[in-house]
Amino acid sequence: MIASPYRPHHELRSSSEQAAKGWYTRVVKLKTNMLELWSRYEEPAKAYILSLRDVRSVGSLAFVVLVLLISWSGVKAIQTNYKLQQEVSRMKQENEVKKLQNTNQELQNSYYKTSQYLEVTSRQNFGLAAPGETVLIVPKDVALAHTVPMPSAEKATAPAKKQPFWQENFQAWMDFFFHRTQV
Protein backbone atom coordinates (compact mmCIF):
# COMPACT_ATOMS: atom_id res chain seq x y z
CA MET A 1 0.00 0.00 0.00
CA ILE A 2 1.30 3.47 -0.95
CA ALA A 3 1.27 6.16 1.71
CA SER A 4 -0.70 9.19 0.58
CA PRO A 5 0.75 12.64 1.25
CA TYR A 6 -2.77 13.83 2.05
CA ARG A 7 -4.46 13.07 5.32
CA PRO A 8 -7.71 11.17 5.19
CA HIS A 9 -10.96 13.06 5.66
CA HIS A 10 -11.74 11.51 9.05
CA GLU A 11 -8.35 12.71 10.41
CA LEU A 12 -9.15 16.27 9.35
CA ARG A 13 -12.41 16.14 11.24
CA SER A 14 -10.74 14.88 14.35
CA SER A 15 -8.02 17.55 14.26
CA SER A 16 -10.58 20.32 13.74
CA GLU A 17 -12.62 18.89 16.58
CA GLN A 18 -9.49 18.89 18.75
CA ALA A 19 -8.84 22.53 17.88
CA ALA A 20 -12.43 23.44 18.71
CA LYS A 21 -12.18 21.54 21.97
CA GLY A 22 -8.93 23.39 22.86
CA TRP A 23 -10.58 26.70 22.07
CA TYR A 24 -13.60 25.82 24.20
CA THR A 25 -11.42 24.90 27.18
CA ARG A 26 -9.56 28.23 26.91
CA VAL A 27 -12.87 30.13 26.85
CA VAL A 28 -14.10 28.22 29.90
CA LYS A 29 -10.85 28.96 31.79
CA LEU A 30 -11.10 32.64 30.91
CA LYS A 31 -14.70 32.75 32.09
CA THR A 32 -13.86 31.08 35.41
CA ASN A 33 -10.95 33.52 35.93
CA MET A 34 -13.25 36.47 35.30
CA LEU A 35 -15.83 35.08 37.73
CA GLU A 36 -13.14 34.70 40.39
CA LEU A 37 -12.04 38.30 39.85
CA TRP A 38 -15.63 39.51 40.01
CA SER A 39 -16.27 37.65 43.23
CA ARG A 40 -13.07 39.12 44.71
CA TYR A 41 -13.98 42.74 43.83
CA GLU A 42 -17.78 42.54 44.03
CA GLU A 43 -18.10 43.44 47.70
CA PRO A 44 -15.63 46.36 47.65
CA ALA A 45 -17.31 47.74 44.50
CA LYS A 46 -20.76 47.53 46.09
CA ALA A 47 -19.46 49.21 49.24
CA TYR A 48 -17.91 52.05 47.21
CA ILE A 49 -21.11 52.57 45.21
CA LEU A 50 -23.12 52.69 48.41
CA SER A 51 -20.66 55.18 49.89
CA LEU A 52 -21.48 57.54 47.03
CA ARG A 53 -24.85 58.15 48.70
CA ASP A 54 -23.01 60.27 51.23
CA VAL A 55 -22.56 63.89 50.10
CA ARG A 56 -19.08 64.07 51.64
CA SER A 57 -17.86 61.17 49.49
CA VAL A 58 -19.28 62.73 46.32
CA GLY A 59 -17.72 66.07 47.28
CA SER A 60 -14.34 64.42 47.88
CA LEU A 61 -14.55 62.61 44.55
CA ALA A 62 -15.49 65.84 42.74
CA PHE A 63 -12.63 67.65 44.48
CA VAL A 64 -10.11 64.98 43.38
CA VAL A 65 -11.40 65.12 39.79
CA LEU A 66 -11.21 68.93 39.84
CA VAL A 67 -7.64 68.90 41.20
CA LEU A 68 -6.60 66.41 38.52
CA LEU A 69 -8.13 68.53 35.75
CA ILE A 70 -6.46 71.71 37.01
CA SER A 71 -3.14 69.93 37.36
CA TRP A 72 -3.44 68.54 33.83
CA SER A 73 -4.19 71.95 32.34
CA GLY A 74 -1.31 73.47 34.33
CA VAL A 75 1.10 70.85 33.01
CA LYS A 76 -0.10 71.48 29.45
CA ALA A 77 0.34 75.25 29.92
CA ILE A 78 3.86 74.76 31.26
CA GLN A 79 4.72 72.46 28.36
CA THR A 80 3.37 74.94 25.79
CA ASN A 81 5.24 77.79 27.49
CA TYR A 82 8.47 75.79 27.42
CA LYS A 83 8.12 75.08 23.69
CA LEU A 84 7.38 78.74 22.97
CA GLN A 85 10.38 79.83 25.05
CA GLN A 86 12.61 77.49 23.05
CA GLU A 87 11.25 78.95 19.82
CA VAL A 88 11.87 82.51 21.06
CA SER A 89 15.46 81.70 22.04
CA ARG A 90 16.09 80.03 18.66
CA MET A 91 14.75 83.08 16.85
CA LYS A 92 16.88 85.41 19.00
CA GLN A 93 19.97 83.41 18.08
CA GLU A 94 19.06 83.58 14.39
CA ASN A 95 18.52 87.33 14.76
CA GLU A 96 21.97 87.75 16.33
CA VAL A 97 23.56 85.74 13.52
CA LYS A 98 21.81 87.92 10.91
CA LYS A 99 22.99 91.07 12.72
CA LEU A 100 26.56 89.80 12.69
CA GLN A 101 26.30 88.95 9.00
CA ASN A 102 24.96 92.46 8.29
CA THR A 103 27.77 94.04 10.30
CA ASN A 104 30.32 91.91 8.47
CA GLN A 105 28.85 92.94 5.11
CA GLU A 106 28.93 96.64 6.11
CA LEU A 107 32.59 96.33 7.12
CA GLN A 108 33.41 94.59 3.86
CA ASN A 109 31.60 97.30 1.87
CA SER A 110 33.45 100.04 3.75
CA TYR A 111 36.76 98.24 3.04
CA TYR A 112 35.93 98.17 -0.67
CA LYS A 113 35.60 101.98 -0.54
CA THR A 114 39.05 102.55 1.01
CA SER A 115 42.17 103.58 -0.85
CA GLN A 116 43.98 100.49 0.46
CA TYR A 117 41.59 98.22 -1.41
CA LEU A 118 41.94 100.28 -4.58
CA GLU A 119 45.73 100.08 -4.31
CA VAL A 120 45.75 96.32 -3.76
CA THR A 121 43.34 95.62 -6.60
CA SER A 122 45.24 97.90 -8.96
CA ARG A 123 48.48 96.11 -8.12
CA GLN A 124 46.88 92.68 -8.38
CA ASN A 125 44.66 93.15 -11.41
CA PHE A 126 46.52 95.73 -13.46
CA GLY A 127 50.15 95.32 -12.38
CA LEU A 128 50.45 98.97 -11.33
CA ALA A 129 52.99 100.25 -8.81
CA ALA A 130 53.04 103.27 -6.52
CA PRO A 131 55.18 106.26 -7.53
CA GLY A 132 58.81 105.62 -6.64
CA GLU A 133 58.45 101.82 -6.49
CA THR A 134 60.37 99.50 -8.74
CA VAL A 135 58.60 96.43 -10.08
CA LEU A 136 60.75 93.32 -9.94
CA ILE A 137 59.87 90.34 -12.09
CA VAL A 138 61.05 87.10 -10.53
CA PRO A 139 60.85 83.87 -12.53
CA LYS A 140 58.50 81.31 -11.09
CA ASP A 141 61.12 78.59 -10.65
CA VAL A 142 63.32 80.97 -8.61
CA ALA A 143 60.41 82.23 -6.53
CA LEU A 144 59.21 78.74 -5.67
CA ALA A 145 62.61 77.09 -5.23
CA HIS A 146 62.54 77.21 -1.43
CA THR A 147 58.87 76.61 -0.77
CA VAL A 148 57.31 73.58 0.88
CA PRO A 149 54.82 71.68 -1.27
CA MET A 150 51.35 71.61 0.27
CA PRO A 151 48.48 69.39 -0.82
CA SER A 152 45.62 71.33 -2.29
CA ALA A 153 42.23 70.68 -3.77
CA GLU A 154 43.17 72.73 -6.84
CA LYS A 155 44.84 69.68 -8.40
CA ALA A 156 41.47 68.09 -9.07
CA THR A 157 40.05 71.20 -10.72
CA ALA A 158 40.36 72.06 -14.39
CA PRO A 159 43.45 74.04 -15.45
CA ALA A 160 43.12 77.81 -15.10
CA LYS A 161 42.89 80.13 -18.09
CA LYS A 162 46.08 81.71 -19.35
CA GLN A 163 46.62 84.87 -17.32
CA PRO A 164 48.50 88.00 -18.35
CA PHE A 165 52.20 88.07 -17.49
CA TRP A 166 51.89 90.62 -14.70
CA GLN A 167 49.06 88.61 -13.04
CA GLU A 168 51.07 85.40 -13.22
CA ASN A 169 53.99 87.30 -11.66
CA PHE A 170 51.81 88.60 -8.82
CA GLN A 171 50.36 85.13 -8.26
CA ALA A 172 53.87 83.66 -8.14
CA TRP A 173 54.84 86.14 -5.43
CA MET A 174 51.68 85.35 -3.44
CA ASP A 175 52.42 81.64 -3.75
CA PHE A 176 55.99 82.28 -2.61
CA PHE A 177 54.95 84.29 0.46
CA PHE A 178 52.24 81.84 1.49
CA HIS A 179 54.34 78.73 0.72
CA ARG A 180 51.96 77.43 -1.91
CA THR A 181 52.98 75.41 -4.92
CA GLN A 182 51.16 74.89 -8.18
CA VAL A 183 51.56 71.73 -10.18
Q: Kindly give the confidence (pLDDT) of every residue in the chain, 183 residues in length, as a single tens digit, with 9 standing for 90 and above.
A: 455 555 555 554 566 666 667 788 888 888 898 888 888 888 888 888 888 888 888 888 899 999 999 999 999 999 999 999 999 999 999 999 999 999 999 999 999 999 999 888 888 888 788 888 887 777 888 888 878 877 766 555 555 678 888 888 888 898 888 887 765
Question: Buried b / exposed e across 55-68, counting CB within 10 Å, b at 16+?
Answer: eeeeeeeeeeeeee
- Prediction pTM value: 0.38
